[in-house]
Structure 1
Amino acid sequence: MYVPAEFVEPQREVLHDLILKNPFGILFSHGCNGLDANHLPFELQPNEGELGVLHAHVSRNNPVWQDLQNGDEVLIVFQAENAYISPNWYPSKHEHHKQVPTWNYRVVHAYGKVTIRDDERYVRGVVARLTRTHEASQPEPWKMSDAPKDYLEPMLKAIVGLEIEIKQLQGKSKLSQNKDYKDVLGAAHGLAETGHQEMADAMFGVAETKR
């Protein structure tokens, strides 16, 4: 990924936080049948391995788990907020008109080695933890034991686990860091006024560093 110096996000904790808050990633792989991309929910265990370990599962009918070999390199892309930036939001545009549109975003690329986990214990653990995490905000969280055993067991057998040990993390936070204070602040207000509050908050943070 091309990352100009001003957009580099070097802090591992920030990269992990983006993954934890945006766990629906894209798994890119290159196996026997060429390039493939799969959209999957991931579970990050940040304290496993050197840079963390990602856990996921796919349908047994999905050929990706047979197309890959243990140890193959894969790339998982996680994206947080993103938004169009109008040059009209920059005060300097109204002075000299030397501004153009752009698109701001925050992403993490996680490179790692995959291990195929075709065992029920692993799969059960992955889906149980995913469920527990994402049901936490529900008034009455659903749990696996709510489903009849004779219904759940065949479903668990119909999925295969993927374990990816992260070997490299690359983060990019493109938040108009290459603009001056007034222009960053103007764009942040423009985003807030058009309903992009999460991106606006991130850019207000950048503006504070330019005071």
Structure 2
Amino acid sequence: MSYPPRQFRETREAVLLEAIAAIGLASLVVVRDGAPEAVSLPMLAVPLGDGWVLEGHVARANPLWRLAEGGCAALAIFQGPHAYVHPGWYPGKRQHGKVVPTWNYVTVHAHGRLSPTRDPAWLAAHLARLTDAREAGRDDPWSLDDAPDGFIQGLQRGIVGLTLRIERLEGIWKIAQHHDDANRHGVIAGLAASSDPGDRAMAEVMAKAER
């Protein structure tokens, strides 16, 4: 693969799985009748054998799961922190002016084959895993057991589980690796001083990479 440039590629599986866990929400893309379709849904990476699968679910009314009955190819996109980069943050702007705006971002692409399940036991375990993952660390974490008897089971009948067996993971961390130290530090400072939470999140990603 010649693109993205090598310096932007992230290939460490542990880093990619950590990003998937932190981002949580995926854009799941499939092709139907020759045209791409996408649905947004939370997905969780779980180990299976010597690999990993992504778990998620959709409403039974969503036709996507029927497309997956034959084991269709799919792409799950996890969009992490991203931010516009103002050229004035580069010291180089004042020195020579040869700078332009850009966009920094983190994204993970998980390629694989999608299959559905309506097994009640699988769905119950999946919902528990998904909920526990997002509630972990909260002062008053919610669990499925907090709901009245029969409530979750009733809702569960209206969903279909999806699993994507990961065949390939691709990560892109475009965080000014091709700039010198002064420019990178200028961008970090500019983003960190922003009132936008997304800007500050990108500043943290860049600062972490400097360590």
| TM-score, normalised with respect to structure 2 | 0.91
Q: Which secondary structure does the structure 2 equivalent of 1:178 belong to?
A: coil
Equivalent position of 2:200 in the other structure: 197
Q: Which secondary structure does the structure 2 equivalent of 1:52 belong to?
A: strand
Over aligned residues, Cα RMSD in angstroms? 1.7
- Establish whether residue 3 from structure 1 lines up as the match of residue 4 from structure 2: yes
CA distance in 2, matches of 1:111, 1:124: 25
What does 1:111-126 align with in structure 2 at a 5 Å threshold? 111-126=111-126
Q: Report the number of matched residues.
A: 207
CA distance in 2, matches of 1:179, 1:146: 51
What does 1:8-23 align with in structure 2 at a 5 Å threshold? 8-23=9-24
Q: In the TM superposition, what whole-angstrom CA distance separates every residue of 1:83-130 from its partner, at most 9, and x where no partner exists? A: 010110000111111000000001000001111111111111111111
Equivalent position of 1:146 in the other structure: 146
| TM-score, normalised with respect to structure 1 | 0.91
**5+ residue gaps in structure 1?**
none
Residues 130 and 100 (structure 1), Cα distance of their counterparts in 2 relative to 1, 3 Å cut: same
Report percent identity of matched pairs: 35
CA distance in 1, matches of 2:65, 2:185: 47
CA distance in 2, matches of 1:23, 1:149: 28
Q: Once the 2 structures are TM-superposed, how far is the Cα of residue 43 of structure 1 from its aligned partner?
A: 1.1
Q: Which secondary structure does the structure 2 equivalent of 1:183 belong to?
A: helix
CA distance in 1, matches of 2:97, 2:49: 50
Equivalent position of 2:28 in the other structure: 27
Contact map agreement 1:114 1:163 (CA 8 A) in 2: yes
Q: In the TM superposition, what whole-angstrom CA distance separates every residue of 1:71-92 from its partner, at most 9, and x where no partner exists? A: 2110000011110101100001
Equivalent position of 1:103 in the other structure: 103
What does 1:28-107 align with in structure 2 at a 5 Å threshold? 28-32=29-33, 34-45=35-46, 47-107=47-107
Q: Which secondary structure does the structure 1 equivalent of 2:10 belong to?
A: coil
**5+ residue gaps in structure 2?**
none
Residues 49 and 169 (structure 1), Cα distance of their counterparts in 2 relative to 1, 3 Å cut: farther
